[in-house]
Amino acid sequence: MDFERAQEIFSSDERIKVLHNGTPIWIENLDDDNNSATIKPLDGKFGTSQVPVNDLEEG
């Protein structure tokens, strides 16, 4: 996913499915300096991780 699309999803009022390595996630924050996203898995696991935006897929 490119950074611009990640920003659109992050700012959207709609719930848009996003995956990281096949796992549904929620984008918590975006860092344009590092082209990365702070994500949280939607599978009930706790915690966040920072990943490259390019690793995210819209699904």
**Alpha helix stretches (DSSP H) within the chain:** 3-11
Q: What is the mean pLDDT of residues 1-30?
A: 97
Cα distance between the two ends of the chain: 11
Strands (E), 1-59: 18-20, 23-31, 36-41, 49-52, 56-58
What pLDDT, on the 0 to 100 scale, is given for residue 9? Answer: 98
pLDDT 10s digits, 17-58: 999 999 999 999 999 999 999 999 998 778 999 999 999 999
For residue 15, pLDDT beyond 90: yes
**Model-wide pTM > 0.75:** yes
Radius of gyration of the chain (CA): 10
Residue type, 47: G
So where are the chain's domains?
3-58
What pLDDT, on the 0 to 100 scale, is given for residue 44? Answer: 79
Domain 3-58 has CATH 2.30.30: yes
